[in-house]
Amino acid sequence: MDITNKILKHKKLFYFLVVLLFLIYWTPWAFIKPSKTLKVKQDFSEIKIQDLQPSAMSQLKKQKKYPLKIIDYTKNTANKEKGLFGFKETKSNRLKAFSKWNKTIIRHKKDLKNEYYDEPGLILRKNTLISKSRNFKIKCGNKKRIKCAKEEWLYLLKALKKSSWHEKLNKVNYHMNNSIYITDINNWGVNDYWATLKQFFRRNGDCEDYAIAKYFSLKKIGFKADNMRIAVVQDMNLNVAHAILIVYINDKTFILDNQIATVVKASAILHYKPLYSINENAWWMHHS
- What digits encode the pLDDT tens for the residues 113-143? 776 555 555 555 555 666 555 555 656 654 4
- Return the pLDDT at 44: 29
Average pLDDT over residues 16-28: 64
When the pLDDT of each residue in the chain is averaged and rounded to a whole number, the result is 75
Instruction: Return the pLDDT at 146.
Output: 45
CA distances from 8 to 17, 77, 242, 244 (A): 14, 68, 73, 77
* pLDDT reading at 39 higher than 50: no
pLDDT given for residue 25 in this prediction: 59
Q: pLDDT at residue 51 above 80?
A: no
Query: Which phi and psi angles does 152 have, rounded to 5°?
Result: -65, -35
**Per-residue pLDDT at 234 exceeds 50:** yes
* pLDDT at residue number 216: 96
65-124 pLDDT tens trace: 333 333 332 333 333 346 899 999 999 999 999 999 999 999 999 888 776 555 555 555
Cα separation, 3 vs 58, whole angstroms: 52
Instruction: Please report the pLDDT score of residue 242 as a whole number.
Output: 96
- In tens, the pLDDT along 152-192 reads 888 888 889 889 999 999 999 999 999 999 999 999 999 99
Q: What is the pLDDT of residue 113?
A: 76
User: Which pLDDT score, from 0 to 100, does residue 97 have?
Assistant: 94
- How far apart are alpha carbons 82 and 89 in whole angstroms? 8
pLDDT band for position 248 (50/70/90)? Answer: very high
User: With 70 as the cut, is the pLDDT of residue 195 above it?
Assistant: yes
Q: Give the pLDDT of residue 149.
A: 79
Helix (H) or strand (E) holding 10: none
Which of 211-245 are b and which e, b meaning 16 or more Cβ less than 10 Å from the residue's Cβ?
bbbbbbbbebbebeeeebbbbbbbbbbeeeebbbb
